[in-house]
Structure 1
Amino acid sequence: MVATIDIETADGVVRGRRGRRVLRWRSLPYAAPPVGDLRFRAPQPVPPWTGVRIATEFGSASMQHRAGARIGPRTYQPTSEDSLTLNVTVPAAPSAGPRPVLVFIHGGGYLIGTSALTLYSGSRLALRGDAVVVSLNYRLGAFGYVDFSGFGTPQRPFDSNLGLRDQVAALKWVRRNIAAFGGDPDNVTIFGESAGAHAVLALLATPAARGLFHRGIAQSPPADWALNAEDAATFARRCLDALGADPADAARALIEAPANDIRKAVDRTSRAVLSELPGLFPICPVIDGEYLPHSPVDAISDGTAHRVPLIIGTNREEGALFARFADMLPTNPARLHKIFERAGADTEARVTAAYPGYPQPSVAVRMGGDYVFWRPSVTVMEGHSRYAPTYAYRYDFAPRALRLAGVGATHAIDLIPVFGAADSPIGRAFTAAGGRRGLLAVTDQFQDNWISFARTGVPLPSWPVYTETSRATLIIDHPTRLEYDPEGAKRLAWKGIRVPTLT
């Protein structure tokens, strides 16, 4: 018989699963299902229920390509528009007081991903830090990050920035309910990887998120993703064309079309834009002047973002994963040349001079990863450090198996030590050719720093703040070390370069 535990939330009683060391609640609704009249609308309150809601199994992932919701070797989570749920993991042992809360936002380019991955449960992190770990779903792709608001009608309006609004709604749920699970609503850290890390920065720039979190951790954010309103409208029109919808009757088409048809049309249009303009990722938050008044990078740089402590960093070989397995980044000379053409006459010569060996394929891959992830992250480090404590890192650790595979310390590899997954099948596979001791050491580095930061707003004393003068950066490796202005010549070469615009 499965041991269970009931908790009373503001919306009703939920029943989770009691394990030997942790308690888990899965797929708790934080907003009403965004279906029917709520499709393309801002998240609405959860309808309260009577009785006990069973929260021991996962529901659906957000609408996406089936492959994005893969949660096992041959297992795929169902996808649905009805997916605005979150999961809570808590140590089973009693605590002397309220626990710090860590809210994880998954990555996947705002197109794919799910909080149901076993890695994201956070059980090891919760136990090590005596913390509450929350993971959440949010609307993706067509339903979360395309701005169809210009095609609404007075009778049937559409809202912008739906995925971002979902994340705020989830944080409001945490604010209202997490004390019932033993968490401290006045000590909430948001953390995310890739698009989830970008979401952390977007929340820093979102007025509606003020006071809902107290610090942030951004792991490999493509920090300057954001569409201006004109580009967003142009992209939305292209998506409607791909759907075969008449612009004069767009509202009806968006209301009535099957969800998967809309998803496919947006995915095709996104791929076309990436081919036309490498480096421009159109599935992202929109600077709508209201919900998101400024791009995250601009808000952080001018001090209008929330001035909370921030950890931010990237991995040394970000681009290698995409070059091998997901060919969508500007990781070859042809795509990089298109970027440089739009960035100014001397840009290509200046940047390539900072990368000896270019245009060798491995150098181009490194350059493309730096362009998407490291370049804009440095801008965030500089800007945020003027207004709030900022801590910079670079993840360099790569066991022999990853080096032999030609990917090294690539994108998303840092999730294994952050979540303490050295003993998981993937953790053991990565160290099958050696490096287990190193992985355990960097796991200690990540988790002890993340936990200290979540508890106090400050990582371990060995990690100094980043300033534009010192540029102190923790290089997480075996052994870990401090560097000051690592790759300074490359940093200067990239300075001032921004992503292209669609119009």
Structure 2
Amino acid sequence: MRALPRFIAAAPSACALLLASSAAGAAASDTAPVVKAPAGALAGIREGAADVFRAIPYALPPLGARRWQPPAAMPHWTGVRPAKTVGLPCMQPAMAAGPYDRGPQPMSEDCLTLDVTVPANAHNAPVMVWIHGGTLIWGTGHSKMYDGKGFAKRGVVLVSINYRLGVLGYLAHPELSRESKDGISGNYGLLDQIAALRWVRENIASFGGDAKNVTIFGESAGALSVEYLLASPAARGLFDKAIAESAYAFTTPELRSARFEEQSAEGIGAALSAKLGVPGIAALRAMDARKLVDAAAAAGYAPYGTIDGKILTRQIVDTFDRGEQAPVPLIAGFNSGEIRSLRFLLPPLPADAASYERDVRARYGDLTDAYLRLYPARDPEQTRLASTRDAVFGWAAERLVRKQAAVGQPSYLYYFDHDYPAAAAANMTAFHASEVPFVFGAFGATPPNWPAIPQTAGERRFADSMLDYWTSFARSGKPTAATGPAWQVFTPGDTAMTLGASPHLSQHFMPGMYALHEEIMCRRRQDGTQSWTWRTGSTAPILPKPTPSCSARP
């Protein structure tokens, strides 16, 4: 079975992003807005100038025999369904203390719900669909941090979704494949996301949204999900633009093939069943969900999509290389301090500069000089942080915008480098997910151990810029802000938007970074025996020899 340290799964405290909260934000009025949608009538709640509809079911609960089945359509209901109460997160294991932990919370398998926040009296408004992060293990779309009223003020409808997580959302298994008419298994959480997008297409006009102008966006595992949705034929035509915040593009298990240091996805599932001492899918379905989720996490199960030939047809990097992804405008980017809250990913500190350089030369061969130019020995701590950040997030972000540009779509790259006193004091400047409160403008809704964002005019102005960029992109495909410069379309080796103390353009962004990590990935992919993951420096395997087809790649 694949070991748990697949990116963030190794350290539950590190990247379980932004979990659920219990209560709605602003005080609500007594007037309950009612929407008559194709799914059924809903009574929401008025909060300021926005109408909020909570915990709307978009698929039947995946209980009993429906556990590990594709999502089934929710039948039309009669009468007016209340939609005022915060929904429950999907089942997930407990998280160790850290900046992302919100503590104990109620949860349920009956969790395939979404929230809709709309401007009062909206008509044909652009729609943004938020996919939460959390390593595909943790999180909920119902968090207070994902408050949609900042979007509503800008005339945008926000939809925030739940999807199945962990072993309940991504288990592949030979028995499950035999049950399937397509002979496949896994990807249930991804299929949930697709079902939610289909629900949006069919119902959002009733809320005042434009079903033909839908932007998907997500952070970390939510951004990985954006990549999956861009790549999946099953999601084609369900969205019109995309934003990926701190995406990563690792190797993905294939349903029945063991490649790139990965077991097959079915093999991972069979090994998990054996490790738990539970003989087969019927017994696994009979297990209490809480016990199953905890036992799978303790056994080292790490959820990921499955390359099954239908939902995900090939490795994600191959899909984008072939230009088979959804041809939609894209924003993608990463944070300067990503690894400051993910320090378990770091290679060990070298004993001294000489030993560091010897180790790099032994592992990177003919790429050593290029590696040392970007990641020199003079500051080992910063070198570790930068090399791991770029291998995981920087390369993936630039790759996404390059590949979307190659299919003729306007693409925009950002670099989030915003600091404030509490983050600086904790050595957490621009840490992983730290852009999210600014994207939503929800400063007071961060988890208890998150470095507190000061409620100052400057921080509000910065958040307004980010909200402007994100929502204008959703509206027109071109990100603009009243308090920031015009964002230029990305061309290779050229401009990125740096979101620092204030937004500004950075010319000739990180020269050499993308080329190095693209070459490393290409060689590992062609060799076929190495995965392309977070491993850098002294944790990296010895790089395969150069090949003409890799060195000639753009």
TM-score, normalised via structure 2 length: 0.79
C-alpha contact (below 8 Å) 1:6/1:16 kept by paired residues:
yes
**How far is the alpha carbon of 1:291 from its aligned partner?**
1.2
CA 102–482 in structure 1, closer or farther in 2 if over 3 Å, else same? same
What is the alpha-carbon distance in structure 1 between the residues aligned to residue 376 and residue 90 of structure 2? Answer: 43
1:366 Cα deviation after fit: 3.0
Larger RCO (CA within 8 A; separation ≥ 6)? 2
Report the Cα distance in structure 1 between the residues aligned to 2:132 and 2:45, rounded to whole angstroms: 23
1:189 maps to 2:215: yes
For 2:392 and 2:467, the matched residues in 1 are separated by 26
Change (3 A) 1:488 1:114: same
Distance 1:259 1:307 in 2: 39
- 1:49-64 map, 5 Å: 49-64=77-92
SS at match of 1:465: coil
Cα distance 1:10–1:221, how it changes in 2: closer, same or farther (>3 A)? same
The equivalent of 2:341 in structure 1 is 321
Distance 1:354 1:429, change over 3 A: closer
Given candidates 456, 460, 480, the residue that maps to 2:476 is: 456
| Structure-2 change in CA distance of 1:362 and 1:269 (3 Å) | farther
Secondary structure of 1:189's partner? strand
3-state secondary structure, aligned to 1:392: strand
Whole-angstrom distance in 1 between the partners of 2:296 and 2:447: 32
Query: 2:340 matched to 1:307?
Result: no
Deviation at 1:158, TM superposition (A): 7.2
Q: Is 1:104 aligned to residue 146 of structure 2? A: no
Q: Is 1:481 aligned to residue 504 of structure 2?
A: yes
Superposition deviation, residue 125 in structure 1:
2.0
Distance change >3 Å, CA 116–CA 77, structure 1 → 2: farther
Alignment RMSD (CA, Å): 3.1
In 1: Cα distance, 2:435 partner to 2:330 partner: 17
- Alpha-carbon distance change, 451 to 349 in structure 1, aligned in 2, over 3 angstroms: same
Q: What is the deviation of 1:316?
A: 0.6
Q: 1:68 to 1:216 in 2, by over 3 A?
A: farther
Kept after mapping to 2: 8 A contact 1:449/1:459: yes
Distance 2:83 2:276 in 1: 36
Among 128, 139, 143, the alignment partner of 1:117 is 143
1:225 Cα deviation after fit? 5.2
User: Aligned-pair distance for 1:85?
Assistant: 0.4
CA distance in 2, matches of 1:77, 1:342: 48
Contact 1:333 1:359 in 2 (8 A): no
CA contact (8 A) 1:242 1:265 kept: no
Corresponding residue for residue 287 of structure 1: 307
Please report how far the alpha carbon of residue 70 of structure 1 lies from its aligned counterpart in structure 2 after TM superposition: 12
Measured in 1, the distance between the counterparts of 2:74 and 2:30 equals 27
The Cα shift of 1:69 comes to: 12
Tell me the residue number matched to 1:386.
406
Instruction: Summarize the Cα distance change of 1:367–1:120 in structure 2 as closer, same or farther, 3 Å threshold.
Output: same
1:62-211 aligned at under 5 Å gives the runs 62-67=90-95, 76-92=104-120, 94-95=121-122, 97-127=123-153, 129-154=154-179, 159-211=185-237
Call closer, same or farther: CA 1:362–1:70 in 2, change over 3 Å.
closer
| CA–CA separation in structure 2 for the residues paired with 1:36 and 1:241 | 21
Q: Percentage identity across aligned positions?
A: 34
Please state how far the C-alpha of 1:312 moved relative to its aligned partner.
0.3
Specify the alignment match of 1:430 in structure 2: 452
Report if aligned partners of 1:69, 1:78 keep a CA contact under 8 Å in 2.
no
Q: CA deviation at 1:490?
A: 3.0
Residue 485 (structure 2) pairs with residue 467 (structure 1): no
Please tell me whether residue 418 in structure 1 is matched to residue 439 in structure 2. Answer: yes
Cα distance in 1 between the residues matched to 2:155 and 2:97: 29
Amino acid at match of 2:168: F
Q: Offset at 1:149?
A: 4.8
Q: Give structure 2 stretches of 5+ with no counterpart.
A: 1-28, 258-262, 351-355, 525-529, 533-554
Instruction: Call closer, same or farther: CA 1:443–1:36 in 2, change over 3 Å.
Output: same
1:240 matched to 2:273? The reply is yes
* Contact in 2 for aligned 1:390/1:465 (Cα 8 Å): yes
Distance in 1, matches of 2:438 and 2:348, equals 30
The question of whether the paired residues in 2 share the 8 Å contact of 1:192 and 1:219 is answered with yes
Q: How many residue pairs end up in the alignment?
A: 477
SS of 2:133's partner is coil
Instruction: Give the AA of the match of 1:477.
Output: G
* In 2, Cα distance between equivalents of 1:141 and 1:359: 38
Contact 1:14 1:52 in 2 (8 A): yes
How far apart in 2 are the matches of 1:260 and 1:152?
24
Offset at residue 11 of structure 1 (A): 2.5
Q: Are 1:226 and 2:226 matched, yes or no? A: no
CA distance in structure 1 between the partners assigned to 2:326 and 2:102 by the alignment: 42
Distance 1:142 1:173 in 2: 24
Secondary structure of the residue that 2:314 maps to in structure 1? Answer: coil
Quick one: distance in 2 between partners of 1:135 and 1:425? 17
* Greater alpha carbon shift after TM alignment, 304-313 vs 206-215: 206-215
Q: 1:449 to 1:239 in 2, by over 3 A?
A: same
Judge conservation of contact 2:101–2:447 (CA < 8 Å) in 1.
no
The Cα shift of 1:416 comes to 1.4
Change (3 A) 1:223 1:63: same
The residue number in structure 2 matching 1:30 is 58
User: In the aligned structure 2, how far is the partner of 1:110 from the partner of 1:208?
Assistant: 19
Contact 2:437–2:446 (CA under 8 A) maintained in structure 1: no
Q: Tell me, in whole angstroms, the C-alpha distance in 1 between the residues paired with 2:289 and 2:378.
A: 44
Q: Deviations over 1:458-480 (max 9, x none)?
A: 11271111122x43211111232
User: Equivalents in 2 of 1:258, 1:478: separation in Å?
Assistant: 49
Any conservation in 2 of the 1:358–1:364 contact (CA below 8 Å)?
Answer: no
Cα shift at 1:201: 1.3
CA 1:39–1:286 in 2, change beyond 3 Å: closer, same or farther?
A: same
- Provide the rounded CA distance (Å) in 2 between the counterparts of 1:154 and 1:262: 21
Conservation of the 8 A alpha-carbon contact between 1:390 and 1:466: yes
Measure the CA separation in 2 of the matches of 1:403 and 1:72.
17
Aligned to 1:278: none
Cα distance, 1:36 vs. partner? 1.1
Distance 1:243 1:50, change over 3 A: same
The alpha carbon displacement at 1:74 in A equals 7.1
